[in-house]
Chains A and B, each alone.
Chain A
Amino acid sequence: MQKSVFLAAVAGVGMTAGVASAATLDDVQARGTLNCGVNTGLVGFAAPNAEGEWEGFDVAVCKAVAAAVLGDPSAVEYVSLTGKTRFTALASGEIDMLSRNTTQTFTRDVDLKFEFTGINYYDGQGFMVPAELGVSSATELDGATICIQTGTTTELNLADYFRSNNMDYEPVPIETNAEAQQQYLAGACDVYTTDGSGLAATRAAFENPSEHVILPEVISKEPLGPVVRHGDNEWGDIVRWTLYALIAAEEYGVTSANVDELAEGTDSPEINRLLGTEGNFGEVMGLSSDWAVNAIKAGGNYGEIFARHIGEDTPVGLSRGLNAQWTEGGLMYAPPFR
């Protein structure tokens, strides 16, 4: 008797302890919300606004995926994660996708068993210094004290850069962007280093942004993009092609303003396939046929999202640069929808 009770208990535990990685799409649809991992607070990319709602460039990707999968861009549960906790949260199934300016690297892709589903921002690591220091190049930083966000690729790039240039530095490891900002502004470090976009976003939050300069050197390649768990290819496809749909929409001139009109049918077969009036791309992925329409309506196409959150007219003030469409000399290139 006692034995059978025990076995039943073990069986119960075994069922609940099963890995939740199998079918993320089913889990998300059953739950009705998307658990999306975002930054703990980086203006322009992911930060709560005055109403306490998350918004930003990375948050827009979460919203687009939620709109494509659930038809509702607001059906997102945001989980704010530090550089250290993000991968554990994703691997353990606490979040369905990670959209937290995360650099695609070999180790993360292959060894840590994650899947990078495209790139939504081509970035590179840079340095920010107070203008009064009079430093104009990163090669003059020998002996400087440098604040780094720990648990990122930046601390490895930094070590490599200073080693290859035969310079010394003192690293000050910091857990979050907010703390790093506080240390940097108090003068506890001379330099703050992170991705160029992060520097611009951090500087935008300063009282006097003009008193700080971002040095011209870009010491690394930092392709940032959303991440999902390895092994659930269907879910990976959904996140990847939602991002591509946003990029393709900009290329084809589909915006949040005209998407409804275009979804009634156009002369362009490519747009028709994207918006679901031709073919059955939505059903193939296990979504509704208007998945891309919903994704684009959530926050606009890639260009609209960029301009609203981090573009030149925002306090962050980033130019498109590498992130322009391939037709305009950038690297944003969505594979064909066919």
Chain B
Amino acid sequence: MTSVTEPPRESFRLSMLLNDKRYRFYTFQFVALLLLIVFMAYLGWNLVRNLAILGQDISFEFLGTPAGYDINQSLIPYENQDPHLRASFVGVLNTLLVAFLGCVTATIFGVLAGVLRLSKNWLVAKLMAVYVEIFRNVPVLIWILIIFFVMTAALPPPSAFRGDDPSSTMLFDAIALTNRGVYVPKPIWGAGSGALAAVFLASIAGAIYYRRYATRLLYATGRLLPMVWPTLAILILPTLAAYALLGGPVTLEYPELRGFNFQDGIQIRGSLIALWFALAIYTGAFIAENVRAGILSVSHGQTEAAAALGLRPRRVMSLVVLPQALRVVIPPVISQYLNLTKNSSLAIAVGYMDVTGTLGGITLNQTGRAIESVLLLMLFYLLISLSISAVMNLYNNAVKLKER
């Protein structure tokens, strides 16, 4: 005699939250969440209470008061009577500048070193291995300081360029390398430079169109048009012709030693160079490893198959291996970009006025609003990091393996 008995239908009882395995983990999660909320609330309450005991409050009004200090490198007009908010913004732009320059340069260094480390040339591969291991394993702050101190000590001060028989001279009479930074000529956009820019933009569009046309032709007929020389010609020749026709609308303003310093031209400060270069070579070493891992992740069969089709090694790399490697490379590179951006807050070590130096440094000091300033700094770095992640994730989605 067999009978299938239905398990008795139990109605939900409160005690099951503790006794029943099916519900118990909800209880634990709920309690943990509650504890977390209470803990956070306690920390916040503790902060406010202790501030109140010290007679202080949390207020952001200081952002509207005049900053009173000067900033040497400012991408937007700024003077010392502008409010702290603007001084912070100057710092934000300086952070973004060094982060952008650093990310671009680190990518170039990283891709080159990563590819070359896999080179069959023993010397090149070992050199790249040495680069990666040295730069990856010494703290970035040390690199920033080394580069800054070497620049300060090795390059001449502007006074060395003075006199009838100066001990230092400018490169090509246009570039001055000093221990205060590098002075380069500055383009002056005269009348007609708009037209020149339009011609140049048009040539870029033309070059892109030509390359597309050549690719289409190749796919359609198998006829291979030369790529490199026509592209360069389309890019350069019309612009040169327009420059001559318009009578040279763009002139260069050369740096010139007047008074204490070089005047005119563009000054790339030693602090920016040290920070930029140190961040780039340091992060570049990490990116090189990511790139190497990405390339090694593409199975050797792919390379052999491409070679069997008659592709040359360089084309195998650029057409077959790298596109497949990218989907492995991009995610870790995102976190390297984030690291670089956050490491740029070491700028104060060399006196580069990034947002940590203005808002988190001088403003914090002069107003004494430490908690507010640090909260704003955290918010800024959080926003920047999330934005970089978002943009790079879009790119990652574009290159990742499409499964159909």
A residues lining the B interface (CB < 8 Å): 2, 6, 10, 13-14, 17, 19, 21, 83-84, 87-88, 91, 107-108, 111-113, 133, 141-145, 150-152, 155-156, 158-160, 162-163, 169-175, 182-183, 186-190, 229-231
Distance, CA A20 to CA B50, complexed state (A): 10
Q: Interface 1/0s, chain B 267-300, versus A by CB < 8 A?
A: 0001000000000000000000000000000000
Interface residue B71 (Cβ < 8 Å from any Cβ of A): yes
A155 & B179 in contact (Cβ 8 Å cutoff)? no
Distance, CA A159 to CA B70, complexed state (A): 6
Q: Interface 1/0s, chain B 54-71, versus A by CB < 8 A?
A: 111000000000001111
Binds A, one of B111-119, B198-206, B222-230, B357-365: B357-365
B56 & A150 in contact (Cβ 8 Å cutoff)? no
Residues of chain B contacted by A91 (CB below 8 angstroms): 54
Interface centre among B81, B157, B263 (most CB of A within 10 A): B157
Q: Known contacts A6-B35, A151-B361; decide if A113 and B159 are in contact (CB<8 Å).
A: no
Residues of chain A contacted by B81 (CB below 8 angstroms): 163
B157 & A173 in contact (Cβ 8 Å cutoff)? no
Interface residue B366 (Cβ < 8 Å from any Cβ of A): yes
Interface residue B80 (Cβ < 8 Å from any Cβ of A): yes
**6 A–B pairs (Cβ distance < 8 Å), ordered by A:** A107-B368, A141-B260, A143-B260, A156-B69, A173-B351, A188-B180
Residue on B nearest A190 in the bound complex, by CB: B260
User: Main secondary structure on chain A at its contact with chain B?
Assistant: mixed
Residues of chain A contacted by B261 (CB below 8 angstroms): 143-145, 170, 190
A171 & B368 in contact (Cβ 8 Å cutoff)? no
A188 & B152 in contact (Cβ 8 Å cutoff)? yes
Residues of chain B contacted by A171 (CB below 8 angstroms): 69-72
- Knowing that A14-B42, A182-B152 are A-B contacts, what are 5 other residue pairs whose CB atoms are under 8 Å apart, sorted by A's residue number? A91-B54, A156-B69, A230-B54, A231-B53, A231-B54
Residue on A nearest B362 in the bound complex, by CB: A150
A19 & B50 in contact (Cβ 8 Å cutoff)? yes
Distance, CA A173 to CA B54, complexed state (A): 31
B362 & A173 in contact (Cβ 8 Å cutoff)? yes
A187 & B260 in contact (Cβ 8 Å cutoff)? no
B80 & A159 in contact (Cβ 8 Å cutoff)? yes
Q: Known contacts A88-B370, A143-B260, A143-B261; decide if A170 and B72 are in contact (CB<8 Å).
A: yes
Interface residue B153 (Cβ < 8 Å from any Cβ of A): yes
Cβ of B34 to closest chain A Cβ, rounded Å: 9
Residue on B nearest A155 in the bound complex, by CB: B69
Cβ of A232 to closest chain B Cβ, rounded Å: 11
B residues lining the A interface (CB < 8 Å): 31, 35, 38, 42, 46, 50, 53-56, 68-72, 80-81, 149, 152-153, 156-159, 179-180, 258-261, 263, 270, 348-349, 351, 353, 357, 361-362, 364-368, 370
Cβ of A322 to closest chain B Cβ, rounded Å: 26
Q: Known contacts A159-B68, A160-B68; decide if A143 and B153 are in contact (CB<8 Å).
A: no
Cβ of B182 to closest chain A Cβ, rounded Å: 13
A186 & B72 in contact (Cβ 8 Å cutoff)? no
Residues of chain A contacted by B364 (CB below 8 angstroms): 84
B55 & A113 in contact (Cβ 8 Å cutoff)? yes
Cβ of B57 to closest chain A Cβ, rounded Å: 11
Cβ of B351 to closest chain A Cβ, rounded Å: 5
Distance, CA A75 to CA B295, complexed state (A): 63
Cβ of A266 to closest chain B Cβ, rounded Å: 43
Q: Known contacts A10-B42, A17-B46, A145-B261; decide if A169 and B70 are in contact (CB<8 Å).
A: yes
Q: Which of B159, B357, B370 contacts A187 (CB 8 A)?
A: B159
Residue on B nearest A151 in the bound complex, by CB: B365
Residues of chain B contacted by A112 (CB below 8 angstroms): 368
Interface centre among A88, A107, A112 (most CB of B within 10 A): A112
Residue on B nearest A187 in the bound complex, by CB: B157
B362 & A155 in contact (Cβ 8 Å cutoff)? yes
A186 & B69 in contact (Cβ 8 Å cutoff)? no
Q: Which of B31, B80, B259, B368 contacts A2 (CB 8 A)?
A: B31
Residues of chain B contacted by A159 (CB below 8 angstroms): 68-70, 80
Residue on B nearest A141 in the bound complex, by CB: B260
- Those 7 A-B pairs whose CB atoms lie nearest each other, nearest first: A187-B157, A112-B368, A159-B80, A143-B259, A151-B365, A144-B260, A173-B351
A145 & B46 in contact (Cβ 8 Å cutoff)? no
A145 & B70 in contact (Cβ 8 Å cutoff)? no
Distance, CA A171 to CA B87, complexed state (A): 14
Residues of chain A contacted by B153 (CB below 8 angstroms): 186
Distance, CA A160 to CA B79, complexed state (A): 11
B179 & A187 in contact (Cβ 8 Å cutoff)? yes
Q: Which of A10, A19, A156 contacts B366 (CB 8 A)?
A: A156
A113 & B56 in contact (Cβ 8 Å cutoff)? yes
A156 & B259 in contact (Cβ 8 Å cutoff)? no
Interface centre among B72, B149, B156 (most CB of A within 10 A): B72
Distance, CA A92 to CA B351, complexed state (A): 26
Q: Known contacts A143-B263, A150-B362, A188-B179; decide if A175 and B80 are in contact (CB<8 Å).
A: no
Q: Known contacts A21-B54, A173-B357, A188-B179; decide if A84 and B365 are in contact (CB<8 Å).
A: yes
Distance, CA A83 to CA B38, complexed state (A): 37
A19 & B53 in contact (Cβ 8 Å cutoff)? yes
A111 & B365 in contact (Cβ 8 Å cutoff)? no
Cβ of A144 to closest chain B Cβ, rounded Å: 4
Cβ of A12 to closest chain B Cβ, rounded Å: 12
